[in-house]
Structure 1
Amino acid sequence: MEIGVDTFIETMPDVHTGKTISHAERLREVVEEIVLADQVGLDIYGVGEHHRKEFADSATAVVLAAAASKTQKIRLTSSVTVLSAADPVRVFQQFATLDGISNGRAEIIVGRGSMVDAFPLFGFNLDDYEELFEEKLELFLKLRDSEKVTWRGGHRPAFTNLGVYPRPVQNPFPVWIGSGGNPESAARAGVLGLPFVLAIIGGSPLQFAPAVQHYKKAAARAGHDVSKLRVATHSLGFVADSTSLAVEKYFEPTQASFNYFGQERRWGQYTRAQFDASRTLEGALYVGDPQTVADKIVFMSKQLGFSRFFMHLPVGTMPHEDVMRAIYLLGTEVAPRVREALAKEN
């Protein structure tokens, strides 16, 4: 079981002071958080991609490269890269460069993006949402697998027998497919034999079990060895020294963030009752003391069959010292308990 953190580098107003941290300060904090995650033995750290004022993660590979030179073992990934609205050649070059700087610790999670801010910014039509991703993923995988590539498609200029450099340290370079549970996304990942990441931010994670099965069945039909497939989950959570403290610190910024973005998506107001329901064993939030969080990761890993767990941290704006403490506890107390529990059963 690999355990790590991912972030969207959020810069929302603080629920207590009303102040909004600058993008520059939050970026520096995130590098410190990645360094700590490495020091406490976490396996992976991911940075998302958005193109709006509430997030500072528009240049994911740059942030990860800043952390790569200050870390030793932790793997560094996007979470996710909106490949549909990007040039696959430039994305490949950026992550191959990151792989070189980190000496083979880079990965990429590609997806279509649940927020569509990148599409108008880079001049892409949302009517081409599916086609863009499929075509650009095909090109990205060709670039990964061959030093020289010939390409012709509908959304990027053609080229013939050109090399793309630098080449990554890892061969093959790790590419994951990120999804919110869409059956088509699950099937695509399975057909390609790529590892699969589920973003589970609400409802019951158990509802995502069919997506995992769909993924594995598609992979089996395509001739892939299902035993070698990997599933990960991106889930919201927070760890503190006690469950009551975790709830106290986490609820208000989470509620503020859900209500802010919920206005765009026409969600109802996020209530304390919903929050508490999501903290139960079968809910989507991993919030509590180290033992509570560890028990839930173990339970959900058995139900969904995932071998990598990302805790999205923080939601909204939280004090940097609280986030650092959560990362410390996740690495020094939660991860060892999860691994010990799973090892006993195997």
Structure 2
Amino acid sequence: MEIGLSTFVETTPDVHTGKVMSHAQRIREVVEEIVLADQVGLDIFGVGEHHREDYAASAPAVILAAAASQTSRIRLTSAVTVLSSADPVRVFQDFATLDAISNGRAEIMAGRGSFIESFPLFGYDLKDYDELFDEKLELLLEIQKSEKVTWRGGHRPAINNRGVYPRPVQDPLPIWIGSGGNAESVIRAGVLGLPLVLAIIGGRPIQFEPLVRLYKQAATQAGHDPSKLTVASHSHGFVAETTDLAADKFFPSTQQAMNKLGRERGWGHYDRDSFDFARSMEGALYVGDTDFVAEKIIYLRKHVGITRFMLHTPVGTMPHDDVMKSIELLGKEVAPKVRDEIARWEQEGNS
């Protein structure tokens, strides 16, 4: 069971002061967070790509590379790379370079992205949203498979027996499919035999179990061994010394961020009742003390089949010291509890 973190490198106004930190400051903070995550024994850290004022990570591979030279074992991934509006050749080159700097710890998490700012920025039409992703994923997998590439599509100039360099340390460079939880995307990942990441940020996590089964069924039918495929989840959360303290620290920035997005997307108002349900055992928020958060992750592994868990901290802007403390607790206390219980459970013949 792998446990780690993800971030979108947010720079929303401070809930209490209204001040907005610079992109540069938040990026430097995230590098410190990755370094700490490595030091406390976490397995993975992901940085998500966005192209808007309140998110500072338009180039995740660069941020991850800054941390790569200061870390030794933690794996480094995008979370996600918005592949539909990116050039797969450059994506592969960036992460192969990260793989070299980190000596084989880079991964790509490819997704459509739930934000659309990158499409007009890079000159793509949203009516091609699905077609762009399918085509570019095809090219990215061709580059992963072969040094020399011959390929033709409808949205990018053809490539005729050209080499793509540098080649990564890992062969192959891991490519995951990120999904918001729709059947089409999990079936695609299964058919291709690619590892799957589910964004479980609302509702009840147990509702994702049928999607995991669908993914493995699609993989089996396509001739892949489902026992060799990994399924990750990405969920919001925060760890503190007590559950009440965790909730009180995490709620204000989460409410602010969720209501800002809610106004853009037509969601209902996010209030404390919504938050408190989501942090219950049945909900999708992993907010609490170390025992409670560990218990929820264990439940997710046993009942949904998740083999990698990524805690998304913070949501919105929180004090850097609070985020660092949460990372420390996740690595030093939550992760060992989860790993010990899952190891015991698997030794009893479960999977």
Pairwise same-fold verdict (TM > 0.5)? yes
For residue 157 of structure 2, what is the amino acid of its counterpart? P
Give the share of equivalent positions with the same residue, in percent. 68
| 1:20-59 CA distance string (max 9 Å, x none) | 1110000000000000000000000000000000100101
SS at match of 2:235: strand
- The CA RMSD measured in Å over matched residues stands at 0.6
For residue 187 of structure 1, what is the amino acid of its counterpart? I
Give the Å deviation of 1:159. Answer: 1.8
Q: For residues 146 and 2 of structure 1, what CA distance do their matches in structure 2 show?
A: 29
Q: Within the alignment, does 1:321 sit opposite 2:321 as a pair?
A: yes
**2:122 corresponding residue in structure 1:** 122
Q: For residues 103 and 283 of structure 1, what CA distance do their matches in structure 2 show?
A: 38
For residue 173 of structure 1, what is the amino acid of its counterpart? L
Q: Within the alignment, does 1:64 sit opposite 2:64 as a pair?
A: yes
Q: For residues 135 and 344 of structure 1, what CA distance do their matches in structure 2 show?
A: 43
Q: For residues 9 and 234 of structure 1, what CA distance do their matches in structure 2 show?
A: 15
Give the Å deviation of 1:345. Answer: 1.5
SS at match of 1:177: strand
Aligned length: 346
**1:233 corresponding residue in structure 2:** 233
Give the Å deviation of 1:200. Answer: 0.9
For residue 120 of structure 1, what is the amino acid of its counterpart? P
Q: Which sits farther off after the overlay, 208-217 or 262-271?
A: 208-217
1:74-153 equivalence runs, <5 A: 74-153=74-153
For residue 308 of structure 2, what is the amino acid of its counterpart? R
SS at match of 1:324: helix
For residue 50 of structure 1, what is the amino acid of its counterpart? H
For residue 167 of structure 1, what is the amino acid of its counterpart? R
**1:259 corresponding residue in structure 2:** 259
Give the Å deviation of 1:344. Answer: 1.7
- The runs of at least 4 aligned residues of structure 1 exceeding 3 Å deviation read none
Q: For residues 311 and 51 of structure 1, what CA distance do their matches in structure 2 show?
A: 22
For residue 286 of structure 1, what is the amino acid of its counterpart? Y
For residue 252 of structure 1, what is the amino acid of its counterpart? P
Q: Which TM-score applies when normalising by structure 1?
A: 0.99
Q: Within the alignment, does 1:345 sit opposite 2:345 as a pair?
A: yes
**1:73 corresponding residue in structure 2:** 73
Q: Within the alignment, does 1:168 sit opposite 2:154 as a pair?
A: no
1:196-215 equivalence runs, <5 A: 196-215=196-215
Q: Which TM-score applies when normalising by structure 2?
A: 0.98
Q: For residues 344 and 92 of structure 2, what CA distance do their matches in structure 1 show?
A: 40
**1:303 corresponding residue in structure 2:** 303
SS at match of 2:19: coil
Q: For residues 211 and 228 of structure 1, what CA distance do their matches in structure 2 show?
A: 17
Q: For residues 146 and 194 of structure 2, what CA distance do their matches in structure 1 show?
A: 17
Q: For residues 340 and 227 of structure 1, what CA distance do their matches in structure 2 show?
A: 21
Give the Å deviation of 1:304. Answer: 0.9
